[in-house]
Structure 1
């Protein structure tokens, strides 16, 4: 059904009366999203979202996390020729990389390369 001045006026009246959007949609024979879009295009004032019965408001965290004293990932210190095998938990303060020497253009040292590359199983 097309929007006409009468439907626009009825929408504006129901909107200003505070009728719920689904009931406005049922009255006008359209969808809730169509009502919201038309209300926006008509410049009707925004309404606060209604709280559903039984739903508690979301808690707001007032404590901001402390910035780390040092970067959690010391990746910037890695250079070619150093083993990049991670050791420990990345969020732990003692997290580090192996940093042993590697063969030319290798990512891991010989020990960690053996762990990282498993031979394929025959079928």
Structure 2
């Protein structure tokens, strides 16, 4: 379908009479409602605020491209000071020390961070003892038999993985399993 002069004149006439784009498409045939709307916009025909009865005797106007008056340049407001970087921590988590803050890129999941009241003091003590004895291996040294618990900030040189032998069927050593995996009842109670 092409927009011949005759079809364009019919469109202008019907649009000026206040007929809908669907009615115009039916009358023209071989054209969709959206094609009619697109042509109306390209022709610059005015939007209709009233009903077809009020515009029935009006002649359709063909909008000519008139230069728009230039608006005064907008004065941009002074930029607001950036909000201070805060910890990205789920609700119920104690904030980490300023030295351990990390910015997590958008779209990346938060690392597992169980809340402090769910981790027993014994498990925390065990983790700190284990981390003193850990092998401090790199990503390339990880195997299915080594603990994959990350320690530190991945953006720094002092980032490493635990590397101790894993607990059967788990990705972490016994101490890190105690911190990473919560009993079912604790998770269920937290959701309420």
TM-score when scaled to structure 2? 0.33
TM-score when scaled to structure 1? 0.48
Q: Based on CA coordinates, which of the two structures has the bigger radius of gyration?
A: 2
